[in-house]
Structure 1
Amino acid sequence: MSSSVVLAAKNITAGYGGHPAISDITVELRANEVLTLIGHNGAGKSTLLKCLFGLLESESGIVAVDGEDVTGQNARQISDRGVALVPEGRGIFPSLPVRDIFSLGMHASGVPKKEQADRIGWVLEILPAISEFMNRPAGNLSGGQQQMVSIGRALLNRPRILLMDEPSIGLAPKLFQDLLAPIRALQQREKLSILLVEQNVREALKISDRAVVMKSGSMIWEGEPAELEDNERLMELY
C-alpha cells in the first residue's frame, strides 16, 4: 500500500445554516487503500463526504486532490479529477430503467459515446448481477439491487477515488457482505482508493486498511482496524 495521499481534508469546518456539523477535521485518504469512517448518526460523516466531493462549501479549511487545493470546486470539477461518490440513500431515478440511469450518468460526466458500451461492460464484470435487470425500472428493484446500481453508476467514470456513504442502509447483513467482496476485489485489482462511511462497523472493518472514528463533529481516533476488534475499545470510542 502506497503512503501517498490522494484526497485530504485539512482543518475543515462546515455545517448548515451557520451551525457547524464538523469542526477542524483533518483526514487523509492514501493511494490504494480502504479507509473506513465510523461514528454515530449525526457525527458529521456525511457532511465531510459532501465537502470532499464539492457538494457542500466548507466555512474554513482546505480540500486537496493529489496535493492540489480544490477547495470551492463543484462536484463536476471534483469528478473530473477521478473522484466518484455513492450517495447515501442511493439517489437513483425510480421510474427509469437501469440502462437509462447508466446512460444519463455517463452523459452527465462527459464519457465519450464510443466508450460507453465498454464502460457498461466493465461495470457488469464487477457486478454481474446487474445484467439481469438492466431493462427494469430501478423502482422495481430490491434494496440490494438498487445499491448495486448506485455503485455501478459511480464506477462508470472509472474513478481512482471512490467515496461511499452508508452503502449498507436498508440491506440485510448477508447482502452487504456480498456487495463488499467485489468492491474490495476491484479496489485491489485497480489500485483504487476508497473512503467508506459505514454504520455496519464489523463488516466494514474486515475490508479496511485503516479506520477513523468521528464523534460530535470531531475526529477522535485513527488507527488499524485490528485495534477495534476488542468490543470494549470500540464501545469506549462510541
Structure 2
Amino acid sequence: MSMAASATPALAARGITAGYGGRAVLAGVDLALGAGEVLSLIGHNGAGKSTLLRVLFGLHRATAGEIRLDDRPIPPDPAAMAAAGVAFVPEGRGVFPGLTVAENFTLALWSARLEGREAKARIEEVLGVLPAIAGFYGRRAGTLSGGQQQMVSIGRALLSRPRILLLDEPSIGLAPKTFQELLRPLRTVQRARGMAVLLVEQNIAEAFAISDRVAVLKSGRIVFAGVPADLADHARLMALF
C-alpha cells in the first residue's frame, strides 16, 4: 500500500527494499513525510521500522528504491542528510557516556560547524525547550537515568534546528510520565518551527496524541495509512499487527 502526504513531501521513501545477510526486512516500502507534520510509524517488533529509519538517514543501504528529499532523489548518507537539515535520534539514546552533557552538546555543535555566539544561542534555545537538562548539564551522560539520557539525545539533535527529525523508539525504558514530559515540549517546538517528525514508537496512545498521521508497517510493507482517529477502534488496530 502506498502512502503519500497531501503536499510535496519533505522526505520520502520510494519502493525501498532492504535487509540483512540476504534476509529481506523491507519489501517495496513507500512512505512520505509531509513538511511540518508528525507521522507515527507503528508495527510489531521486527516489522522493519528501525531499519527504515536507518535507510532514510543513510546508516543502512537499501537494495532497491530511492530516497527523495524535497521531491529530489538523494543518495542517503548521514553527513549529507545532516547538512540538509535531517537529524536522527536512534533507539537506545546514543549519547557518549564518558562525556558530560555539555561535552555531548559541544561535539554536536562542532559537527554542525556552529561556534561562538551562535553555539551559545543554540544551547540556550534547547535548554529553554528542555529546561531539566540544566540540572545535570555538567554530569557525565553515562551517570544519568534513561529519561535524562533520552532528553540529552533529543536536545542534542535539536541543536542543529533540524527541519526533519527521525525519532526511533524514544519511550524505551521510560516511565509513561517521563515519556509525556519529553513529548509535550517536542510537540511545542515542532509546531513553532514547522519541523517534520517521523516517530517510530511502541507506545501507541502517546504517539497518536501528538501525531497528524499514522502508518502501520507489517512484515516489511505499509499495510495502513491514515489519521490516528481511523484506528480508535482497538480491534481494528490489533488486526493490523
Aligned to 1:205: 208
Q: Aligned with 2:190: secondary structure? A: helix
Does the 8 A contact of 1:11 with 1:61 survive in 2?
yes
1:22 aligns with 2:48: no
- Give me the whole-angstrom Cα distance separating, in 2, the residues matched to 1:37 and 1:113: 38
- Give me the whole-angstrom Cα distance separating, in 2, the residues matched to 1:125 and 1:7: 28
Q: One-letter code of the match for 1:152?
A: G
**Equivalent residue in structure 2 for 1:58, among 59, 62, 74:** 62
1:104 aligns with 2:99: no
- Give me the whole-angstrom Cα distance separating, in 2, the residues matched to 1:2 and 1:22: 24
Q: One-letter code of the match for 1:3?
A: A
Give TM-score scaled by structure 2 length.
Answer: 0.96
- Give me the whole-angstrom Cα distance separating, in 1, the residues matched to 2:178 and 2:43: 22
Across the aligned residues of Structure 1 and Structure 2, the Cα RMSD in angstroms comes to: 1.2
Does the 8 A contact of 1:44 with 1:217 survive in 2?
yes
- Give me the whole-angstrom Cα distance separating, in 2, the residues matched to 1:110 and 1:23: 37
Aligned to 1:10: 14
- Give me the whole-angstrom Cα distance separating, in 1, the residues matched to 2:170 and 2:212: 18
1:199-227 deviations in Å (ceiling 9; x for gaps): 00111001000000011111110001001
Does the 8 A contact of 1:76 with 1:109 survive in 2?
no
Give TM-score scaled by structure 1 length.
Answer: 0.97
Aligned to 2:87: 84
Does the 8 A contact of 2:8 with 2:71 survive in 1?
no
1:5-63 deviations in Å (ceiling 9; x for gaps): 10000000011122121110000000110000000110000000001101111101010
- Give me the whole-angstrom Cα distance separating, in 2, the residues matched to 1:112 and 1:141: 26
1:214 aligns with 2:191: no
**Which residues of 2 match residues 1-238 of structure 1 at below 5 A?**
3-71=7-75, 73-238=76-241
Stretches of structure 1 lacking an aligned partner (at least 5 in a row): none
Q: Aligned with 2:36: secondary structure? A: coil
Q: Aligned with 1:90: secondary structure? A: coil
- Give me the whole-angstrom Cα distance separating, in 2, the residues matched to 1:154 and 1:14: 26
- Give me the whole-angstrom Cα distance separating, in 2, the residues matched to 1:18 and 1:122: 45
How many residue pairs are counted as aligned between the two chains?
237
- Give me the whole-angstrom Cα distance separating, in 2, the residues matched to 1:14 and 1:122: 37
Q: One-letter code of the match for 1:64?
A: R
